[in-house]
Amino acid sequence: MFRVASDTLNSRVPAGPLEQKWDKHRFNLKLVNPANKRKYSVIVVGTGLAGGSAAASLGELGYSVKAFCFQDSPRRAHSIAAQGGINAAKNYPNDGDSIWRLFYDTIKGGDYRAREANVYRLAQVANNIIDQCVAQGVPFAREYGGTLANRSFGGAQLSRTFYCRGQTGQQLLLGAYQALMRQVSTGRVKMFARREMLELIVSNGAARGIVVRNLENGKLEVHTADAVVLCTGGYGNVYYLSTNAKGCNVTASWRCHRRGAYFANPCYTQIHPTCIPVSGDYQSKLTLMSESLRNDGRVWVPKNKGDHRAPGQIPDEERDYYLERRYPSFGNLAPRDISSRAAKERTDAGYGVGESGLAVFLDFRDAIARDGEDVVRKKYGNLFHMYEKITAENPYKVPMRIYPAVHYTMGGLWVDYNLMSNLPGLYVLGEANFSDHGANRLGASALMQGLSDGYFVIPYTIGDYLAGAKHGKLAEDAPECRAALQDAEARIAKLLSVNGRRTVDSFHRELGLLMWDYCGMARTKSGLEATIPRIRALREEFWTNVRVPGESGTLNQSLEKAGRVADFMEFAELLAVDALHRNESCGGHFREEYQTEDGEAARDDENYSYVAAWEFQGAGNEPVLHREPLVFENVKPSTRSYK
């Protein structure tokens, strides 16, 4: 199934006390003279929170930046859909928050599978993010006196989440986008929209450029630079149905992986507990209902199986508020992995509601009775509106029906403390890397990480690399560039030449269902072992029976999708191998064989307290496992309890 390398990956975490690591490290990093910065070029792929903030900040410093996105504008990146908020330990509510507590909650929330030093740095710079965004004009919610407001999120017992109604991601992204547009107007950043990255160019072992396809006219372009910063998001769409945007894909990461970058912990996937349930086989995506709703909504199912009365007619004593019952101290704000599994447990046991039985109630009756409908509308109006649009039910009158859905992926390309992959010059930021969330991400932490990486980490760490890189300019027609270009051309030609009988979407749906059933919320050894050959067979069928209409020299959305699905077909196998190799349950990775008596995840710290970083050996060949041991010097891994 896989081979184990004898080496140990070096995370390059600096020595010294946790609180001083980042400050000391920044002092030790080499600097690029301000007058010399413009001589260095940096490619940034993706313009979400990580990529937008990185490209803008690097432009401000004076580097020559080229930024790329596949959408028609950098403002469309899927960070825009984040609803609930962004964490920071400002302690404005005076409820006992601190950098240490944010660090501790994040490490614990990640089920002790994240790197301590990275998480501490994240908690440290979070406060700067809030300040930066306020200064950009991000309209965060305010108290009557004009100060910033906070609310609570899962996995924390205090209020540290800053928010803009139910559109926090939108407002933070527009802040980064506006900063980026300002740099475009100065000429320091050159923006390339509607470009999809198809290959990484590696020269003398270092990342030096990319091949992109101009999606409007189909032309392939080569771009070279001194470093490449990948900010291309997660791989949730390997499941076909997820809360990700339709265009989200693993291609940029996978292409780097094929060129030598290690892929870490792909089996850590986050299933979000509160999404609108699937309604039919035409379903194209799933819609999240923000976790912030669990501040006021109560989750329940009927106590009696097959109770089909209208929810309003089921009296309190016949309702099972199972999160409050099982986790009295965190209640409805239990972390995502735990809440999702609890919903699965109830519906698998036959207590589910709705037509399919694959749903539970999220009920605002008590909040409306306590605070009034207007207060609830002010907090969650746009979410209630969206729910009603999709389901034609009024959540002010009847409880929402929700079910878990794929939402976020904690795994990603392996990076060291500087956010550089094992390929020199290839940096990976935001959801695309693996480093900060361990096996489970807490709510309102994705925005924090994306902006931390882009605004406050990469501007320092990339200078250290550039100052030491003595590689000269790489011509766009150098042999390694031409080879990468030819690889991309050949792949496109192959996809167009199959001319089989099945559409790209039909393959994607089949792959997604397979992954959801055997590699989703619960996994077993036998299920995973049976799934891997089925993924291979499906991949083989894809390359002999897919039909991609049209040609490459125009806008061709079928061709775009085909390239992405082809990469998902290879990636899916690695995800399953990783899930099979990790003989423990932790966070979002739940192996049914490894659970406690009351059904909680059972970790195996003795054997699996490491990052699994996989090296590519060719599609269908056994990957090689490199391990980075996780060292906990400041917190003691314990059984995660939210009871």
Partner 1 sequence: MSSDTLNLTLRVWRQAGPDKPGGFCDYQLDGVSTHMSFLEMLDVLNEKLIAAGDEPVAFDHDCREGICGMCSLMINGQAHGPDRGTTTCQLHMRRFASGETITIEPWRATPFPVVRDLVVNRSAFDRIIQSGGFVSVNTGNAPDGNSVPVPGNRQEVAMDAAACIGCGACVAACKNASAMLFVSAKVSQLSILPQGQPERSARVLGMVAQMDKEGFGSCTNTSECEAACPAEVSVSHIARLNREYMKALVFADR
Count how many Cα atoms sit within 13 Å of the Cα of residue 439 in the half-sphere of its side chain: 29
Rounded CA-CA distance 188/182 in Å is: 9
Q: Counting contacts by CB under 8 A, is residue 39 touching partner 1?
A: no
Residue nearer to partner 1 on the CB measure, 12 or 219: 219
Q: Counting contacts by CB under 8 A, is residue 280 touching partner 1?
A: yes
The two three-digit tokens of residue 51, written as one number: 């990529």
Residue nearer to partner 1 on the CB measure, 63 or 608: 63
Q: Counting contacts by CB under 8 A, is residue 134 touching partner 1?
A: yes
Provide the minimum distance between the beta carbon of 184 and partner 1 in the complex, in angstroms, as a whole number.
5
Residue nearer to partner 1 on the CB measure, 279 or 641: 279
Provide the minimum distance between the beta carbon of 612 and partner 1 in the complex, in angstroms, as a whole number.
31
Residue nearer to partner 1 on the CB measure, 144 or 597: 144
Give 182's contacts (C-beta < 8 A, 6+ positions apart).
56
Provide the minimum distance between the beta carbon of 54 and partner 1 in the complex, in angstroms, as a whole number.
10
Residue nearer to partner 1 on the CB measure, 177 or 417: 177
For residue 349, with 0-12 CB atoms within 10 Å meaning exposed, 13-18 middle and 19 or more buried, which class applies? exposed
Residue nearer to partner 1 on the CB measure, 148 or 483: 148
Out of 76, 113, 257, 603, point to the residue binding partner 1 (CB under 8 A): 76
- Segment near partner 1 (CB under 8 A), from 249-257, 431-439, 502-510, 511-519? 502-510
Among positive and negative, which fits the CA dihedral 444, 22, 421, 577?
negative
| C-alpha of 319 from chain center | 34
The string over 522-547, giving b where at least 16 C-beta atoms fall within 10 Å of a residue's C-beta and e elsewhere, is bbbeebbeebbeebbebbeebeeebe
Ranges within 577-616 binding partner 1 (CB under 8 A): none
Provide the minimum distance between the beta carbon of 557 and partner 1 in the complex, in angstroms, as a whole number.
6
Helix (H) or strand (E) holding 214: strand 206-214
Rounded CA-CA distance 332/590 in Å is: 21
- Residue 146 backbone phi and psi in degrees, to 5: 100, 0
Ranges within 92-111 binding partner 1 (CB under 8 A): 92
Give 6's contacts (C-beta < 8 A, 6+ positions apart).
none
Give 392's contacts (C-beta < 8 A, 6+ positions apart).
none
- Segment near partner 1 (CB under 8 A), from 23-31, 76-84, 310-318, 471-479? 76-84
Out of 157, 422, 506, 634, point to the residue binding partner 1 (CB under 8 A): 506
Residue nearer to partner 1 on the CB measure, 278 or 635: 278
Site string for partner 1, 442-461 (x = CB under 8 A): -------------xx--x--
Instruction: Count residues near partner 1 (CB under 8 A).
Output: 82
Provide the minimum distance between the beta carbon of 458 and partner 1 in the complex, in angstroms, as a whole number.
10
Q: Checking DSSP bridges between strand 64-68 and strand 189-192, what pairing results, if any?
A: parallel
Among positive and negative, which fits the CA dihedral 400, 405, 408, 411?
positive
- Residue 270 backbone phi and psi in degrees, to 5: -105, 125
| CB atoms inside a 10 Å sphere around CB 475 | 12
Ranges within 146-175 binding partner 1 (CB under 8 A): 146-148, 164-165, 167, 169-171, 174
How distant, in Å, are the alpha carbons of 198, 200, 544, 545, 552 from that of 489?
10, 14, 18, 20, 9
Residue nearer to partner 1 on the CB measure, 56 or 114: 56
- Segment near partner 1 (CB under 8 A), from 3-11, 142-150, 462-470, 534-542? 142-150
Q: Counting contacts by CB under 8 A, is residue 498 touching partner 1?
A: no
Q: Counting contacts by CB under 8 A, is residue 532 touching partner 1?
A: no
Closest C-alpha among 448, 345, 442 to residue 642: 442
Q: Counting contacts by CB under 8 A, is residue 507 touching partner 1?
A: no
Q: Counting contacts by CB under 8 A, is residue 27 touching partner 1?
A: no
Q: Counting contacts by CB under 8 A, is residue 191 touching partner 1?
A: yes
Provide the minimum distance between the beta carbon of 137 and partner 1 in the complex, in angstroms, as a whole number.
5
Collapsing DSSP to helix, strand or coil, 582 comes out as: coil
Out of 80, 172, 420, 569, point to the residue binding partner 1 (CB under 8 A): 80
Provide the minimum distance between the beta carbon of 439 and partner 1 in the complex, in angstroms, as a whole number.
26
- Segment near partner 1 (CB under 8 A), from 177-185, 340-348, 429-437, 606-614? 177-185
Q: Counting contacts by CB under 8 A, is residue 125 touching partner 1?
A: no
Q: CA-based Rg of the chain, rounded to a whole angstrom?
A: 24
Contact 29, 463 (CB under 8 A): yes
Out of 51, 74, 297, 512, point to the residue binding partner 1 (CB under 8 A): 74
Site string for partner 1, 41-60 (x = CB under 8 A): ------------x--xx--x
Contact 312, 380 (CB under 8 A): no
Q: Counting contacts by CB under 8 A, is residue 214 touching partner 1?
A: no
Catalytic positions, written as ranges: 336
Rounded CA-CA distance 249/601 in Å is: 29
Residue 197's DSSP bridge partners are 212
Rounded CA-CA distance 323/298 in Å is: 9
For residue 27, with 0-12 CB atoms within 10 Å meaning exposed, 13-18 middle and 19 or more buried, which class applies? exposed
Q: Counting contacts by CB under 8 A, is residue 178 touching partner 1?
A: yes
Helix (H) or strand (E) holding 540: helix 525-545
Q: Counting contacts by CB under 8 A, is residue 130 touching partner 1?
A: yes
Contact 263, 628 (CB under 8 A): no
Ranges within 308-367 binding partner 1 (CB under 8 A): none
Residue nearer to partner 1 on the CB measure, 303 or 509: 509
Residue nearer to partner 1 on the CB measure, 294 or 561: 561
Ranges within 364-393 binding partner 1 (CB under 8 A): 385-386, 389-390, 392
Per the document, the length of the chain is 643
Ranges within 281-310 binding partner 1 (CB under 8 A): 282-285, 287-288
Out of 12, 30, 219, 246, point to the residue binding partner 1 (CB under 8 A): 246
